[in-house]
């Protein structure tokens, strides 16, 4: 079985400063939405029926996350949740 895919997507995110801790100024949160397209192919020639399947799937995502940027070093830590609804 051989599987290949490629995806293209984009998202619009709104970033805001999160002021819940005194003295922490580089903590942010973000939210937004996005769209994606997935192009995939599945090849069963090695076993099963010998048929090929190709399709395009579309998805809608919602984004919610938090991020912290360090001033002293080039490092950014983030945690996000991206629920996705996909349609073939």
Domain ranges of the chain: 2-87
62 exposed, middle or buried (CB, 10 Å; 0-12, 13-18, 19+)? Answer: middle
| pLDDT tens-digit series, residues 20-79 | 777 777 789 999 999 999 998 887 666 566 677 888 999 999 999 999 988 889 999 999
Between the CA of residue 84 and those of 28, 35, 57, 60, 77, what are the distances in Å?
23, 9, 12, 6, 22
| pLDDT tens-digit series, residues 49-64 | 667 788 899 999 999 9
Please state, in angstroms and rounded to a whole number, the distance separating the CA atoms of residues 20 and 17.
9
Identify the pLDDT of residue 22. Answer: 75
């Amino acid at each position: 079985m051989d599987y290949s895919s490629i995806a293209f997507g984009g998202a619009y995110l709104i970033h805001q400063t999160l002021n819940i801790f005194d003295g922490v100024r580089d903590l942010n949160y973000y939210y937004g939405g996005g769209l994606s397209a997935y192009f995939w192919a599945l090849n069963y020639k090695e076993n099963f029926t010998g048929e090929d399947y190709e399709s395009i799937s579309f998805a809608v995502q919602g984004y919610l996350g938090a991020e912290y940027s360090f001033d002293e070093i080039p490092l950014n830590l983030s945690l996000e949740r991206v629920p996705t609804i996909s349609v073939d």
